[in-house]
Amino acid sequence: MIELDPDPIELCYEKAIRITRYLVYLIWAACFIINGINIWYYFSELQKMRDCWSCLYKIYKFVGLGLAVSLLPILFLAIPFVLLNAVRQLRIHVMILFLAAWLEMLLDLVQSQQYPAISDVVRIWQSGLSLKYFEETYQCCGVLGPKDYIVFQKPIPEWCYLNYKLVPEGLYKIGCSTVKMMPARSYYNELIYSVVQFALVLSIVTYWKLLLRIEHHRASILDRNRG
């Protein structure tokens, strides 16, 4: 029986596939860890903002949490598809993953900007609700200042004072409508996760392309042998 020499092109493809597979695993692990950190971050931020009634920034956090949670099953599916060399499923999966990464990057861009609090502060004040979140977080008092409470015959809350000490010199003088809500994380931190996500998309696309090429190469050899 004549032993055929291994096809060097196929061996090259197989080596590239193995290397790319390990690269997918590595980036996937980084994505999974960062996504878990994101879920914890959004949840903790929403806990801090529970007194911020219908704030726009709070809505962004809810959307971010929803995206991060929905990304979990998408990430989980990547591993079995890669293990099984599921070409068709990988093509669909990578498109969904790219869309999720793109949406998250846009949301991160929005959340990394300073957000004027005036519309939320005025709406909360007009609704008769507490400005505690803003007054505690940004060391402000009332809409335009502490005199708002005096004009509307309301007691000045203790959180309008530094360290809750009810002394005149500790009273916050600025109004909450003048403050800007600062992002908890810089855009560079947000950008890191987007880069890792897109790196995962690129590695899966590369893996999928290599699978297609080795299939095409094997099919061409089979056709040549038949001929």
User: pLDDT digit of tens for each residue in the chain (227 aa)?
Assistant: 444 456 788 888 889 999 999 999 999 999 999 999 989 989 998 888 887 877 888 888 899 999 999 999 999 999 999 999 999 999 999 999 999 999 988 888 888 778 888 999 999 999 888 999 999 989 999 999 999 999 999 999 999 999 889 998 999 999 999 998 877 666 677 778 889 999 999 999 999 999 999 888 888 877 777 75
What's the pLDDT score for residue 6? 64
Could you give the 3-state DSSP secondary structure of residue 171?
A: strand
User: CA-CA distances (angstroms) from residue 205 to 106, 123, 172, 218?
Assistant: 22, 47, 55, 20
Same domain as 53, residue 107: yes
Distance separating alpha carbons of residues 20 and 15, to the nearest angstrom: 9
Cβ neighbors of 111 (< 8 A, separation 6 or more) are 57, 60, 61, 64, 183, 190
In DSSP terms, 181 is beta-bridged to 115
What's the pLDDT score for residue 20? 95
Structure tokens at 87: 């070409």
State the total domains in the chain. 2
What's the pLDDT score for residue 142? 94
Same domain as 155, residue 138: yes
Same domain as 193, residue 167: no
Report the first-to-last Cα separation within the chain, whole angstroms.
21
Q: Which domain holds residue 35?
A: 9-113+183-227
Q: Where are the beta strands (DSSP E) in 76-138?
A: 115-116
What's the pLDDT score for residue 50? 83
Distance separating alpha carbons of residues 143 and 177, to the nearest angstrom: 5
Helix and strand numbers (H, E) in the chain are: 7, 2
Q: What is the CATH number of the domain that holds 155?
A: 1.10.1450
What's the pLDDT score for residue 108? 82
Asked which of 182, 197, 212 is the last residue of a domain, the reply is 182
8 A C-beta contact, residue 68 and residue 101: no
Structure tokens at 65: 């949490």
